Amino acid sequence: MTTGTVTIIGASLAGAKAAEELRTEGFSGRVILIGAEPDLPYERPPLSKEYLQGDAERASLAVHDEDWYADNDVELLLGTAAVEIHRDTHEVELADGRRVPYSALVLTTGASPRRLSLPGAELAGVHYLREVGDSERLRDALRAGGRVAVIGAGWIGLEVAAAARRYGCEVTVLEAQDVPLASALGSELGAYFGDLHRRHGVEVRTGHRPTALVGSDGRVIGVSTDAGDDIAADTVVVGIGVRPNTSLARGCGLAVSDGVVVDEYLRTSDPRIHAAGDVASAYRPWYGRHVRVEHWAAALGMGPAAARAVLERGEPYDDLPFFFTDQYDVGMEFAGFVDPRRAHRVVLRGDVDADSFHAFWLADGRVVAGLHVNRWDDGIEPVQRMIRGHAEVDPALLADTTAPLGEVAASV
């Protein structure tokens, strides 16, 4: 495919990178990028990190500046949502009634925050964090100080808690599971992050579920929990996960199961349509199963991969999942995939108490995932090499800080 029209639904990082890759690969046809938000495509990780904390300017979030789209002849249709895909006529219908043609279609529609379904959930002062405007409104609330309740101790919730403490707020985190990040990291590493926040003055209440948000004059003033207590709060932040935005795909009959189902070339059940980023449940040959990843690196890699596949120049997308977080003075990178269906052993290397260590997840004696905290000299690259090496590793050697980690990785 060298001509025609490639339409991308979702003016996101994945969408912008798909458009960029089409031009890099020499595609000379029309490229149309549709976005429901009015802003140029931007990166989302800063929304809960440096942008929320006031350390980054709004312009720095943009994937490309406005001139780039004009210079590369990428048509931007921003501030208008796609409402239906007409596969019979190869058109996308917009909320304003316009119809946009496509020869090939790329879905980069991302995900949306899960909403609370509790009494008081619609009170003023209740925040979700997904878009740049959400981050700005929350930043204003945190700057005002006061008491903040964070519902959900996932990555977003904990990063917001760290930002709130930096602003001097009193912070309480409510988490239904026994430790924060239990589903992502398991009990041992989840407990580490819980302790990190406690050391910085956050009250972390695990095993607690909210039952209602309490209000006065239309504004939230607290959270009631299933433990029978009330937590005073001037601001409530909800971070209980996201749902992939699959309504367009489902509406036009594409296969959907925890995201838009795509093969290793990011093709949907309709060969004219590809999907990438948070919305895509992609078949990963390395794992032999479909995996959906909700992190920045997936959007960064899958957008260009989908573009190349559209041009029939693609290779199986099989990047290792990767994500990172920054909380207080802790920087963490994680690579790999912890399959919940398998038993794992966690091996620690370094000084956990000093916030300087690696952790490895082993299944059948092989490293399948790992992270580092503040170990920038070695970083995540040795972990990735071990995962790709797929050889059995001596756990004692992994834990031995006298054995250079690079040499351990090279031996696998």
For 68, phi and psi rounded to 5 degrees?
-60, -40
Asked if residue 263 has pLDDT above 90, the reply is yes
Mean pLDDT of 371-389: 94
Which pLDDT tens digit goes with each residue over 199-223?
999 999 999 999 999 999 999 999 9
Mean of pLDDT over the chain: 95
* Listed residue (339, 325, 400, 396) closest to 368, CA to CA: 339
The two tokens of residue 102 are: 């496509």
* Listed residue (391, 337, 330) closest to 361, CA to CA: 337
Q: Give the pairing type, strands 260-262 and 280-284.
A: parallel
Asked if residue 1 has pLDDT above 80, the reply is no
Q: How far is CA 391 from CA 158, 321, 362, 386, in A?
A: 34, 19, 11, 8
Return the higher-pLDDT residue of 187 and 32. Answer: 32
Q: What is the pLDDT of residue 404?
A: 87
Q: What is the pLDDT of residue 343?
A: 85
Q: How far is CA 204 from CA 137, 142, 207, in A?
A: 24, 18, 10
Q: What is the pLDDT of residue 32?
A: 98
Determine the longest span between alpha carbons in the chain, in angstroms. 66
- 132 pLDDT band, cuts 50/70/90, is very high
Q: What is the pLDDT of residue 183?
A: 87
List of domains in the chain: 5-112+243-310 (3.50.50.60), 126-240 (3.50.50.60), 329-410 (3.30.390.30)
Asked if residue 124 has pLDDT above 80, the reply is yes
* Percent over 90 (pLDDT), the chain: 91
Which pLDDT tens digit goes with each residue over 268-322?
999 999 999 999 999 999 889 999 999 999 999 999 999 999 999 989 999 999 9
Which pLDDT tens digit goes with each residue over 60-94?
999 999 999 999 999 999 999 999 999 999 999 99
Q: Give the pairing type, strands 235-238 and 147-151.
A: parallel
The predicted model scores a pTM of 0.94
- 339 pLDDT band, cuts 50/70/90, is confident
Mean pLDDT of 24-52: 97
DSSP 114: P
- 3 pLDDT band, cuts 50/70/90, is confident
Q: What is the pLDDT of residue 338?
A: 87
Q: What is the pLDDT of residue 406?
A: 85
Asked if residue 196 has pLDDT above 90, the reply is yes
Find out whether 149 and 120 touch, Cβ atoms under 8 Å. Answer: no
* Helical spans, DSSP H, in 289-364: 296-310
